[in-house]
Chain A
């Protein structure tokens, strides 16, 4: 408790110093560091069997993470854009009034200048950045749902780079000498989700889910509606990721067997259902309505009469998380880090959302074991077990790993694509122009990315904030950012991270270990007064840990 009080006094002094006009950094530097541990009362009980046990700042530049179970992907998880470190003082004030959602305060190469809602987000170079300064003084994020309109803006010169070229535009853009087209690796998965947890819904029955799995010709969808570089999903996780494709491959089409299964399930004439989707282009789903329409046509062959329903994007994601999407739903996942835990644990882990119904023990038990061992052979066997259990229980049908492409003006230097969708605008610039304009598919829901899941938000956050680790530009390998190194104990249960010194937040506050503890503690503990975000669900946090005081946690919106 004493540590907490001293920390609180320090934070208060910081805020006072900041309020007094820009001398916060020097004031902060003179305040003696107060070590801090969370939870203060002692280590967490590890009821979830994974995640944080305790987080401690031993000195201003050292943080110790004690884990409940070994986590071989811990560093990769720390590199997620979601886990950006916030200034403790800012966290206190900005979560209290909710301003953190629209006014992030990071340590990154860009800082937020303006978010003109519905129009654009303007970022300006952070002149105090600890690393390489952004090459363009201003970076502008705009959004446009229509692929043709994005390409037109690029060709007209009003944009410098665009996300997700429409598959039908790739050939033309490649032939255009004024543009450069850069493919993005298919490190994603598009799936057809089915919720087995909705009483009375046909998809409650395994036979029905299997019938749908057997009815679909997924290769036909790839061949006709996906760009080059895409492939049929043999497993949920793309096979370029190690251990992803252990176990049996997914079902192949068998219409007769599908019809028989429907008959066995009590639907000899089929049934009516809904196929929901959001009209948002992603690398894993480049033409949503067209793919939905083809699935509708394919399921008609076994008597399932599908009505296609488009749902607004944010509402759709919220409904998926809440498990309220009835019938079938099209959704996908782009890798945040290249490990099966990112794909499998998030969707099918013990603490996963009810998107597909209740978590399946046959799946999550091997997943938990696999994430807790570094032994390759053991991991392979456990992922085989989990993948086979997914094939048996069919909570969803893995459909495709979609290749995609970005386009830039030919004059842009530093243009690149990230397999994780983390393109860094700070390394891109155009000769004679200090402003770089990027057009993506949609507007971010919010910029407090601990509480965001959509790539459109995460990409913007990635320019503004930083975590302890990040990813190498255009690659999926990690690099240290606010940490200089993290070393693990032999049993992988304790990670000691040394922090970078001399880093300042955009508000002038100095980065130290307390910020790391408070950032994670505020999300980890649902009873923490700082546990507030746009939805306060903090869905991505379950990738790294369960929550404390779960009774106080916000449930996904119904």
Chain B
């Protein structure tokens, strides 16, 4: 079967999988998704369970104990944290939370941003001007600083943090979508639909939007890593997830003073954040290359 006989999806998939870095990203992502979905199965402990008085010998900040490597005590692959909780369980449940945060935040931003960008680009005129100037104002603020300001106003917490990060990300997707819509609105298939009597809303949402989504999806994939990092940063500062929730940023923030004396409590969540952001960035890059017609081989 030659390339021209393939559906666009199969062609993009093949192009994606041909890239080594994309395959690495996908593999990392699969590991993370598996860890997140199977956290309850893989971890023997609850992420918020304080093991003092519950497990004999459980010592605060005890290092990793892996039975397969000769450790006799209860197995704690990543050791115990400052509050005598299993770090492995917290990292796995943190993966669940981080993935959820990443997808929800970016999803929220894509939906709202795309809607604003699509209407703005399609309608044009003063509507376009109004929307884009508002987006310009939002873009003018350093994103993390704006997110901190929003969380300060609406109060700390994971949901509010997601909302803040999502709001801050809206202009990016609005810009991307507007650019796509501007490129499509004067194309022949739009003129044809209009000639056939389709309403403007129908043209926008049924004809233009599906064809303009690809850049937003690529941008969104790249944005998930950034969103996870931003939420972790806010949680590190104490503005995001609140104790005892297992969230990577708050884990590092809470135990930051132990970096030298008990590195395991901050290194493992740190590695998890790095892996996740790297995974999404590699997948995002791969998708961009796979979906960009100019890079088709």
Contact = CB atoms under 8 A, between A and B. Distances in A.
Interface in A211-249: 217, 220, 224-225
A46 interface: no
A148 B256 contact: yes
Given A297-B83, A297-B244, A148 B53 contact: no
Contact of B254 (A168, A289, A307): A289
A297 B48 contact: yes
Interface string A151-170: 00000000000000010110
B1 to A, nearest CB: 59
B48 to A, nearest CB: 7
Interface in B258-274: 258-262
A289 B243 contact: yes
A148 B259 contact: yes
Nearest to B49: A297
Contacts, number: 53
B107 interface: no
A48 interface: no
Contacts of B84: 224
A214 B61 CA distance: 27
A310 interface: yes
A217 B84 CA distance: 15
A290 B261 contact: no
B83 A294 contact: yes
A293 B257 contact: no
Contact of B52 (A146, A224, A296): A224
Interface string B6-28: 00000000000000000000000
Contact of A293 (B83, B238, B260, B262): B83
A440 to B, nearest CB: 16
Contacts of A553: none
B60 interface: yes
Contacts of B238: 279, 310
Nearest to A151: B260
A21 interface: no
A308 interface: yes
A287 interface: yes
A172 B52 CA distance: 24
A74 to B, nearest CB: 42
B242 to A, nearest CB: 6
A89 interface: no
Contacts of A217: 53
B18 to A, nearest CB: 46
A220 B257 contact: no
A82 B82 CA distance: 37
Nearest to A281: B257
B259 to A, nearest CB: 6
Contacts of A308: 242-243
A287 B244 contact: no
A290 B254 contact: yes
A172 B261 contact: yes
Contacts of A297: 48, 50, 83, 244
B83 A290 contact: yes
A292 interface: yes
A24 to B, nearest CB: 49
A334 interface: no
Contacts of B82: 225, 287, 290
Which residue of B48, B242, B244, B259 has the most chain A CB atoms within 10 A of its CB atom? B244
Contact of A168 (B48, B83, B242, B258): B258
Nearest to A172: B261
B47 to A, nearest CB: 12
A147 interface: yes
Interface string B40-75: 000000001010110000001100000000000000
A147 B257 contact: yes
Contacts of B60: 224-225
A307 B261 contact: no
Contact of A148 (B48, B61, B244, B258): B258
A166 B257 contact: yes
B247 to A, nearest CB: 13
Contact of A292 (B61, B243, B260): B243
A220 B53 CA distance: 9
Nearest to A290: B82
A169 B261 CA distance: 7
A306 to B, nearest CB: 9
Which residue of B53, B82, B238 has the most chain A CB atoms within 10 A of its CB atom? B82
Contacts of B262: 168
Contacts of A289: 243, 254
A303 to B, nearest CB: 15
A405 to B, nearest CB: 14
Interface in A280-304: 287, 289-290, 292-294, 296-297
A161 to B, nearest CB: 19
Interface in A297-336: 297, 307-308, 310
Contacts of A224: 52, 60, 84
Contacts of B254: 289-290, 293
A387 B61 CA distance: 37
A504 B53 CA distance: 60
A506 B84 CA distance: 52
Nearest to A307: B242
A220 B52 contact: yes
Given A224-B84, A225-B60, A290-B82, A296 B244 contact: yes
Contact of B256 (A146, A169, A220): A146
A168 B255 CA distance: 11
Given A148-B258, A166-B257, A168-B261, 13 more contacts: A146-B257, A147-B257, A148-B259, A166-B261, A168-B257, A217-B53, A224-B84, A279-B238, A290-B83, A292-B243, A293-B244, A296-B243, A297-B83
25 contacts: A146-B256, A146-B257, A148-B256, A148-B259, A148-B260, A148-B261, A149-B257, A166-B257, A166-B261, A168-B261, A172-B261, A220-B52, A224-B52, A224-B84, A225-B60, A289-B243, A289-B254, A290-B254, A292-B243, A293-B83, A294-B83, A296-B243, A297-B50, A297-B83, A297-B244
4 closest Cβ pairs, A-B complex: A148-B257, A297-B50, A168-B261, A290-B82
Interface of B: 48, 50, 52-53, 60-61, 82-84, 238, 242-244, 254, 256-262
